[in-house]
Amino acid sequence: MARVRLILEDHNGIQTEQTFALAGDLDTLDGIDEAVEAFRLQALPQVEKSLLEAAQERAIPEKKRRHGA
């Protein structure tokens, strides 16, 4: 079974790693296409969530500084 390892590194060099298995028949073009599509549907929402959480963590202290809280 093949796996895809995604490493997300922020501007401070802190890395978050996620591994996703490519399931299915990887011996045919159709099987590879299906496996990659399934990976995309599984992985990209998780990557987007990580990016949004990091942006939110940076935005909250910035907002508090601007509003004197």
- What is the widest separation between alpha-carbon atoms in the chain? 60
Split into its structural domains, the chain has a count of: 1
CA dist list (Å): 32 to 5, 12, 39: 17, 35, 10
Residue type (1 letter), 31: G
Percent of the chain with pLDDT over 90: 52
Reported pTM: 0.67
SS3 category, 11: coil
Between CA 22 and CA 32 the distance in angstroms is: 9
The pLDDT tens digits along the chain (69 residues) read 899 999 988 888 889 899 999 998 999 999 999 999 999 999 999 889 988 988 888 887 776 777 765
Domain that holds residue 18: 2-66
